[in-house]
Structure 1
């Protein structure tokens, strides 16, 4: 399902400052809600306590389950869509207090401490002294978090983008590139060339990335690996696990284990 519900991208009066370097916006969103593409002068950590969101920045998209968050640098144009009902908690961070150098997004493994700090910051809304103390702890914790990037590159070509969006929506689709060619109005050879030119990989490699990205929320919900494999179009659990281990050097259960 494509996101259909549009809501205000960011809320007025919540901008961070030198005096309040970290502000929080808490929103409970239905499935298929969309925070349309926008940017702002501050950085943002997008995190859902519950639910799964899809974050798109430029030519990349990430599927973010509750164990993960994503840092979006200042001025970056980004879009957030919910794949299921989500309790979204966005940390707005003053650009002068940015916890990460450079202008790229960072995928973060959410620690138990960060989760509790986020909850506490929501509860402390309006208590400026307590907010400042929590902000210091958050800014200290963020750069300590390990990153687990499962990035999915997005193309510019409209024909290829149509194919990619369809597979992101339903990663178990087993159509060949030749079959996709008939659907999107381009030859198989043209699509193969576009994958290499725009995404730097073959069709099969890109589809594998999409399936890996979708595995995160399924495993996070406790779905057995055998069902995850079937949901994502793999012939067996062992085939899925072997591919995963080859890509990341560890099993799916170890990769997605909650931090302790």
Structure 2
């Protein structure tokens, strides 16, 4: 059974709340597998990051996967739930709304640069207000604004039939069943499901299945599976076919992507 941590709607100590005088505050805690933060929201933005481990964030009707050396930006007042897929070093940066580094209102998965990694580590040591913290705050915001964004999220539908189909695929990502075959399992025509994918998720069935497989890559590789086995578990005919799809999406090979430290 998952262990849930929650102090009302804010699972973090009040002294970690950002203020205009101290717009960036760090909360560092180590969580075990399945030790989760239940859904909550707050008035400030949040950068959720793990230098070691694997996180899954549920927000905005999507599942977001956060591997090491990546982080998810969660805007102010967005309800979110944090799940651990492995023992993880959770590092959360609270950023006051007045210093919001992004103008958009949606979550983003970001590359964590080496400089940003060191700045976050330094915040753990430095917990006193003053000029040094002020300088670090500005550099952190600069680094976030120039960070590369990554498509590591999986939109989930609201329609019951479509949700049933998506859950079938999530349970068996290697399945290459056609939409006609899957439609019979959820009691809807393939034409109806095609329309629902476009209406509910703004993407085709094929695009969603590829996004789902990409989203599943991270937990599999974090378990130490070789790329050949990951390709098989995700329904690709060969490791090279899987690697080509991955590189087309992320601009680099899986081994390069997951070797960053």
Tell me the TM-score normalised to structure 2 length. Answer: 0.85
- Which deviates more from structure 2 when the two are superposed, residues 6-15 or residues 44-53? 6-15
Q: Alpha-carbon deviation of 1:214?
A: 2.2
Structure 1 partner of 2:5: 7
Structure 1 partner of 2:47: 45
Structure 1 unaligned blocks of 5 or more: none
SS of the equivalent of 1:152 reads strand
CA pair 4-241 structure 1, distance change in 2 beyond 3 A: same
Structure 2 unaligned blocks of 5 or more: none
Q: Is the 8 A contact 1:219 1:225 kept in 2?
A: yes
Query: Which of 142, 149, 152 is residue 150 of structure 1 equivalent to?
Result: 152
Q: Alpha-carbon deviation of 1:43?
A: 0.3
1:22 aligns with 2:24: yes
Computed over aligned residues only, the root mean square deviation of the Cα atoms, in angstroms, reads 2.6
Q: Is the 8 A contact 1:66 1:220 kept in 2?
A: no
Q: Is the 8 A contact 1:40 1:76 kept in 2?
A: yes
Q: Is the 8 A contact 2:18 2:94 kept in 1?
A: yes
SS of the equivalent of 2:150 reads coil
1:128 aligns with 2:126: no
Partner deviation per Cα, 1:130-154 (whole Å, 9 max, x = no partner): 5434323212221121112233211
- Which deviates more from structure 2 when the two are superposed, residues 58-67 or residues 84-93? 58-67
Q: Is the 8 A contact 1:64 1:217 kept in 2?
A: no
Tell me how far apart the structure 2 counterparts of residues 189 and 65 of structure 1 sit (CA, whole Å).
36
Query: Which of 166, 171, 174 is residue 172 of structure 1 equivalent to?
Result: 174
Aligned residues: 256
Partner deviation per Cα, 1:164-184 (whole Å, 9 max, x = no partner): 245445533455545544554
Q: Alpha-carbon deviation of 1:66?
A: 0.7
Q: Alpha-carbon deviation of 1:42?
A: 0.2
- Which deviates more from structure 2 when the two are superposed, residues 112-121 or residues 3-12? 3-12
